[in-house]
Every structure is written in C-alpha cells, then in structure tokens.
Chains A and B, each alone.
Chain A
Amino acid sequence: MIKEYSIVIAGVGGQGGLTLSRIIAHASISSGLSVKIGETLGMSQRGGSVQSYVKIGRNVWSPLVKNGSANALIGMEPLETVRALRYIGPQTIIVLDPEPIPTIYNLVGIEKYPEVEKLLEILKNKTSRLHIVEARREAEKINARMSANILLLGKLISIERVLPIEKIEEAIKIVLGAKAEKAIEAFRLGLKL
C-alpha cells in the first residue's frame, strides 16, 4: 500500500476539478487510505484559476503539497498547469489536456495567450513524464464533453495504478449519481488512450 501519494489538479473553474478531487477521495477511503484535500477556490466558482491538492496514503498530515513534490498533476488546461509549476519535480507525472481556454484579458485583446508549445516546453524542462491527452476532444467523441476531467484521471491510472479501477468507478457513481454512466465511459476511454 502506498505511503503517500499527492496529486495536484489544475484547471479553470467549471472544468470539474473539485468533482475530480472528491472522486479520488471516495476511492481512497474505500481502499482503506486516509485522504486530505486542500483547495484554492478563490473567487473561482466559474472561470477563474482553480487548484486542488489531493493527498492520499496511510498517513496524511497536511492538505498542502510541497514545492516539487507532486507525484502527479492532472492538468485540465495548459496555462493553469504551468501556473502549478512549483509543485512539479522530475518524478511528477503530468497528464495534460493541451487545449487552451482563453482568459478574459485574452478575449478583449489586452493580453495574448502564450503559445502552447512554449508552455509545454516549460513543463518538459521540469519532468520527462509529460503525457498529452486531447481530453476534451476525445470526450466529445463519445458525447461526454463534461467528463474530460475523469478521462484524464483514467489516463493517469493507466500510467500509474494509484488506486484500484473498481474503487474509482464506484466512487464516480457515489459522486455523480445519475450522471455516472457517461463519466465511467470517459474514465475507461482514458485508461486506453
């Protein structure tokens, strides 16, 4: 059993980062592990930067992640993933949806969105374990656009079996209820991609 595993989830408000952290939490508890989730909500219920820190293991103390120490980073948006750079070390697995979501500054023409290639370059300089998944596009193909977050979790689990697959699927049912079916489909797609 793992001693401690920390996952940072970075994205934009409304992308389902908080839902994702709850799913991981439920799966951890049913696997007999402790869990602590710290969240940076800000004024971000819709459209602002959001970061969640999920720590699971036999012994979990604080809800924060030390600089450079994340085991995994689920990046739902490239700019927000780079904003979480301080948590990335050479061991960090990043699963990233590279499709940008422009900021309001970009939209009204005050600031330019950085080139995605440059953002990826910054991440690659930190870790060789960067996995790019067109999560929103892939989820859209199975008509599960809102489950792109869960697809990314599937991808992470396919790289490193942090938690048992059946426990995660149970957790998806607990957290999403009636909407779980599509989400599980997206999760399974992520496992295969």
Chain B
Amino acid sequence: MGNEAIAYGALTVGVAVVSGYPGTPSSEVIETLLEMVKSGHVKIPYVEWAVNERVAFEICLGASLAGARSLVTMKAPGLNVASDPLLSSAYSGVEAGMLVLVADDPGPHTTQTEQDSRWYGELAKLPVIEPSDPQEAYEFTIKGYELSEKLKLPVILRTTTRVNHTVSDVEVGEFNEYKYAPNFSKNPKRYLRAVMYWNRERHLEVLETLAKVEEVSENLELNKILGSGKIGIVCSGPSYLYVLETLEKNNLLQDYKLLKLGLIHPLPKKLLRKFLENVEKVIVVEEIDPYIELKLKALAHELELDVKIEGREEIFPKAGELTLDDVESWILGKKNILNSEPTYPLPRRPPPFCPGCPHIGTYMGLRLGVSKAGYKWGEIPLMGDIGCYALGLNPPFESIWTEHSMGASISMAMGLKVAGYHKPVIAVIGDSTFFHSGITSLIEALHKNVDILVVIMDNSTVAMTGHQTTPENNLSQSGKILKALKIESVLEGLGVEKLAIVNAYNYREVAEKVRKFLREPGVKVIVSRGLCAILTRRKGLTQICIVDKEKCTNCLACIKLTGCPALKPTENRVEIIEDNCNGCTLCMQVCPYDAIIVEKIKER
C-alpha cells in the first residue's frame, strides 16, 4: 500500500520523530510504523498519534530543530488545522529534514471537501512534491528528506487516495539509523516571529531559497519527459498513470510529448519553458483544481508563447475523481463517456452502525429523551461532528443536521443560540474529536454561558479511521505507557456544573438525562460511554442475544428502533445473526414482547 511505502521510505532515512492525527486516506503510514515498533522490527525514538494536526506539526518542527528527522501525517482538512504553524515554518526553517504528508481525496471518497492542498505550497512558501504510485511514494519520501535538508525547509509530500490506498509491488531499500546529537541553538531571527523586520528579512530569504529549488532538486529526478510529439501532455500524481496507460494501450506514446511533474511547488520554470517552446498544444491532466494549468497559462503569457493550454478549466468535469475513461476520451477526442454510471436506479447502501455500536444506544436515548422533554424527534437541531456517530444521519435515526469540521458541533450550536434561535440545540461529538478541537469550543460556550446540551459519545477510540488511541488511553499503540486523561476530569476542571456520565448501552438512562437537561439553562454535558463495538468484540464476547421463537410477533420494532445489522427479518419472525451479535441488549430493551433474551456464551 502507498502509505506503507511512505512509512518504509521514512525508515530508510532513519526518521526519529513521527506524529500525526488519523484521517483517511493518510492513517496507515503511522499505523505501519507503530506496528513495526511494537513488534520489535524497528526502533524509532518517537512515533505516536497526537491530539490534533497542529500539535503534531509543532512536535515534528521542534524535533527537526533539535536535529531529528521528522514526519508528520494528516488528511487534507488536517493541514488546515496545522496551517498556522505551517505558514510560520517557512520563516523558521528546519535543521534535520521534515516531511509533511498531506493526503488529498479527489472523489471525494472519505473527506468533507475535495481540497487541493497543492495551493498550500504557494501560501506557505514551501516546496511540494507529488508521487504517482506506491513505488514513487517510497522514493519521493526519501527524496523529500534530501530536499528538505538542502533547503532547510519542511517539504510537503502531497498524495491523493489513489497513491495512499493503492496496493502494488514495491522495491524497498534497507532501513537505516540516522545518527544525531540532539541540540538546539538560540537563533532569534529564525525562531522569533515577534520582531517585524526579521519577519520581512526571512520572507525575502525564503523567496530566494524557493527560486533555487529547480536547480537544487535537479539530481533528484522528480520530473520526467517521455515521447517527442508536438502535442504536449502535462500531468502529476496518479493522472500520469492514466495518461501513460491510455497512450501505451493505443500505441500513441511517440505521438505525444509527456511531461510528468513531481515537483509541484515551485514549478520547474526552466524545464517548463523548454517544454512549452517545443509543442503546439498542451493538455494538462490533473486531479481536483486546475493548479498546474493556471500556472502554465501564466507562464506562457509571461514568455509570450502562442501555445494553446487546456485542462480541467475547459474540458474535464470540474469535480470528482478522474477515471481512465475521462482521460482516454479527452486525449483521443472522443466524447460522451465521461463518468458513465449505471442508469439503473439502485438502492443506496450507506454504512450502518456496526452491530452493538454504543452510538446506537446514545441516539436511541436522545430520541426518547427529546420526546420526553416535549419535542418531536427531528424538531430540534442536533449539530453533528466528525466521526462514526455521523452515520446517525442514516435511518433509522436521521439524527444530525450538520457535520462540518472537527469540533464545530459545539461552536455552531452556540452560534445558533447567540443568534437568538428559540429552540433547544444539541451538539453531539466523539471523544477524540472533543480532545482534538471540541474542547476549545466548549471553553467558549462555558465562558459565555450559552444554553446548549453537549453529548460526548465516548467509545474510547478513534473508531472510524481504524481504532487509534485517544488521550483517554493509557497504553500507546507502540507499546508505551502513557498518562490517561479522563474526560470527566477535564470537564470538571473546566467548571462544567451540569454533568452526567451515562452508559450508552442503557438507552433509558441516556434519555432521562437528556429530558432533564434539555430545558435547563447554561451548558449541560452528558458523557455517553460505551466501548466501540469492534473493540468489544476483539476483547471477547461473553453473551449474545437470541430470539424466543414463540414470543416474536415479527412487529419489527427491534429493527426499526435500533437499525442493528445483526437483526434480520424473515417471513414470520426476526432472526439474530449469531456471528454478528455483540450481545449489547439494546434490541432486547425495546422489544415489546420480551421476545429477545440473553444467552451466555463461551468467550470467543
């Protein structure tokens, strides 16, 4: 997998400090390293998940200034969270190499926006490089460190899902130890941003450094040219593979001149100039924004070259991931096969909550509690956040009204109230998202004494991205003992007065607190706790639920109220798929006929 290749690349250069926040499609880089450290295959002085991307970035920056090669990983929106230190890092620069992996998600498959992080190169004045496949992901990781140390700047390694999550055969070199003596020297002009003329000087210096990148990176062979035709194609990332496949399969490679860019910022101007001067027309094939296209148009204008340049701005669909068919139809001049989907209207299949998911219990409790407080379900806003609990948007709950950005549930709920919105407002947020960003939103709401109900759905893990640890865990995935922070201690410390800790698997208990708190003034917080169902299963189950065939009337209340995928309707009654049941008893709690009973099982 591309992400494993990046991890191996980092091991090849002897990375010493690795941090990041989980987010698809970036998570497997750190997961790979953690697994290898835990199993004793490699030694890395520090590899841990951080509370958020900004903190992770600053840890890696500090480590690099102390002489350690560092790697920070995140999905695209994570770079927005880390953008504050990112922008300052061009002014401070680095000592040992620092690589910033940002995984964009054209499509999008798993991300709130189709963000094109290449723009951050311009904004932050940092070099950006982009690989096309897992083999290059490995090589570019190594090259990234070389470039970073030559320039004394962090380097952004920009990938897209089709690199991160593509699996292929990759040749990997030996892993090395990078020896360094940790040290940090005082250098006010580089590290202090409080003096404005230093900032101006550093700005000029970084611009001078960027102007040298093309020359400095020449031996790294980040870019390549194939073919010699009069029509030019410029591409980067996986779009290179789509173009190459199309040209190879149609025996057209010699009819085109293909420029594959690996150095994305600053673009290699000399190379591009030579390229533009030798072609009559240029097609730019790139994912998400017309970034290279616009740059090329500007360059052609600057050089007064009469070359037609076309790309996503004119032809390709403006949104969504490129397909082989898009690229072929464009290069061969065919039409009408762009992104053709089956014309049959097919039922959707969104991922449901897992069988026995604690969020099922919390949403059942919220639904009942809201109605006990005198409101209809769906009448008052549930402001959602980012994590598995966002799946509550699907039936049977159709619960959340918003899912915006990490921590926004609480602050957006506050926004509704300060705008004068008259009904109660509920914010739901997971434990890891709370620590990531929700905590600052809560401080704001508490300080301003806003009337909102916050429900922290605490499943003790970052579930959606593959069960990474949160600040509540006392054992790191690398095997280190950590200090566990309890959410309730944090909340008490912040001065939350109306606080309840409830069991997510007892939905009536959840409902009772929701009913009680909903009409009360001020900030109320319910921590609804239940271990992620997948982790519960891994620990070993001791019971499952079974259906009493005599009593089940096939009323389907269990299915309609819980939506649990372990429940299966048959002709005369509901069945529980034994292999899927976690024994959480939520279906049992709602069965009007007591037709569901618990059966103890031998641990499995």
Contacts and interface: CB of A to CB of B under 8 A. Distances in A.
Are chains A and B native binding partners rather than an unrelated pairing?
yes
A107 B110 contact: no
A179 interface: no
A4 B206 CA distance: 47
Interface stretch (A34-42, A150-158, A159-167, A181-189): A34-42
Contacts of B342: 82-83, 85-86
Contacts of B110: 41-43
Given A36-B166, A42-B109, A45-B351, A104 B324 contact: no
B414 to A, nearest CB: 27
A49 B354 CA distance: 14
B563 A104 contact: yes
A89 B569 CA distance: 35
B348 interface: yes
A63 B163 CA distance: 9
11 contacts: A21-B167, A34-B168, A34-B169, A36-B166, A36-B167, A43-B351, A64-B162, A64-B323, A109-B560, A114-B346, A114-B347
Given A38-B162, A104-B565, A122 B344 contact: yes
A66 B166 contact: no
Interface in B331-379: 337, 340-342, 344, 346-352, 354
Interface residues of A, number: 52
Given A45-B464, A67-B323, A80-B349, 8 more contacts: A29-B169, A39-B166, A47-B351, A61-B245, A64-B324, A67-B340, A103-B350, A104-B352
A22 interface: yes
A79 B565 CA distance: 17
A102 B109 CA distance: 22
Interface stretch (B8-16, B43-51, B218-226, B391-399): B391-399
A42 B24 CA distance: 9
Best-buried of A29, A45, A60, A107 by chain B (most CB within 10 Å) = A107
Contact of B167 (A22, A43, A61, A102): A22
Interface of A: 12-13, 21-22, 25, 29, 34-49, 59-67, 79-80, 82-83, 85-86, 102-114, 122, 145
A106 B328 contact: no
Contacts of B169: 29, 34-35
A29 B134 CA distance: 15
A103 B325 contact: no
Contacts of A39: 165-167
B248 interface: yes
Best-buried of B109, B340, B342, B351 by chain A (most CB within 10 Å) = B351
B53 interface: no
B351 A108 contact: no
A137 B467 CA distance: 32
Contacts of A38: 162, 165-166
Nearest to B169: A29
Interface string B1-43: 0000000000000000000000011000000000000000000
Contacts of A105: 347-348, 395
Nearest to A49: B349
A85 B341 CA distance: 8
Given A25-B167, A66-B324, A67-B340, A104 B346 contact: no
A80 B347 CA distance: 10
A82 B248 contact: no
3 smallest CB-CB distances across A and B, nearest first, come from A48-B351, A61-B245, A37-B167
Given A41-B109, A47-B354, A64-B242, A108 B559 contact: yes
A59 B247 CA distance: 13
A104 B354 contact: no
A63 B162 contact: yes
Contact of A36 (B168, B244, B560): B168
A85 B560 CA distance: 31
Nearest to B24: A41
Given A63-B162, A86-B340, A106-B347, A37 B352 contact: no
A42 B169 CA distance: 23
A46 B560 contact: no
Best-buried of A79, A102, A122 by chain B (most CB within 10 Å) = A102
Contacts of A44: 351
A113 B347 contact: yes
B349 A103 contact: yes
A65 B394 CA distance: 30
Contacts of B395: 104-105, 108, 110
B238 interface: yes
A176 B579 CA distance: 19
B107 to A, nearest CB: 8
B412 interface: no
A104 B569 CA distance: 12
B327 to A, nearest CB: 9
A62 B347 contact: no
B354 A46 contact: yes
B330 to A, nearest CB: 13
Interface in B560-575: 560, 563, 565, 567-569
B278 to A, nearest CB: 25
Nearest to A21: B167
A34 B342 CA distance: 30
Contacts of A45: 351, 464, 466
B380 interface: no
A48 B390 CA distance: 14
A29 B244 CA distance: 22
Nearest to A145: B579
Best-buried of A37, A49, A66 by chain B (most CB within 10 Å) = A66
Contacts of B556: 109
Interface in B534-567: 534, 556, 559-560, 563, 565, 567
A48 B556 CA distance: 22
Contacts of A37: 166-168
Contacts of B588: none
B242 A62 contact: yes
Contacts of B24: 41
B133 interface: yes
A39 B24 CA distance: 13
Contacts of B324: 62, 64-67
A107 B563 contact: yes
Nearest to B241: A62
Nearest to B323: A64
A163 to B, nearest CB: 14
Interface string B248-259: 100000000000
A12 B349 contact: yes
A83 B346 contact: yes
Contacts of A103: 347-350
